[in-house]
A and B are shown apart, each in its own frame.
Chain A
Amino acid sequence: QLQLQESGPGLVKPSETLSLSCTVSGGSISSNTYFWGWIRQPPGKGLEWIGNIYYSGSTYYNPSLKSRVTISVNTSKNQFSLKLISATATDTAVYYCARTPYSYDRGVVWYMDVWGKGTTVTVSS
């Protein structure tokens, strides 16, 4: 059974870089039918998409975060990672990684079918 596990510091200082990794177990990140992504949820608020990556390295990013975000993939470790530069208090959130089975059926079919448990990141001095 596929599992995703987020890891990284729970506390980041303002202006520093928030870095997280997602380790995929029970399946290969190099599958050609899936994208891998990051989603976050500020305390008491809704879901916000950060971006997705394909095993080849192709990426899609949220336009509102694109200037600060980099998502990368390491197929040898079966991991993908998130870097968010210049962190501020508004980046405080639970960060989730998730798998997206990509397909096309008279339109793009895009949804997240497997999620990690999430990791809480607080941006504070």
Chain B
Amino acid sequence: DGGITQSPKYLFRKEGQNVTLSCEQNLNHDAMYWYRQDPGQGLRLIYYSQIVNDFQKGDIAEGYSVSREKKESFPLTVTSAQKNPTAFYLCASSSSRVLGQTKNYGYTFGSGTRLTVV
């Protein structure tokens, strides 16, 4: 079955350490996104990518970095510059092109990674 796989499910980061969150999809979706969710809040966009080798900053990109070397993969690195990284991180993908026409389709989300600073 197609879907999005995020790993690990739980991640603990020490102060000053960089960590990378994995996101892989086999849905053949063009677009991929990273969102951060804090308790009781909505989802805030960190980075998004509409095509391989291209990505754009979202609303809260500071302290994060991404790469999109393959269509299936969109890893997120939380750097030491991110001062408050403890949160639930969600990766999503969507199919934005159908027969050459741009469409809007619903997101498919991964199961998330819960990152805690220790």
A, B co-complexed? no
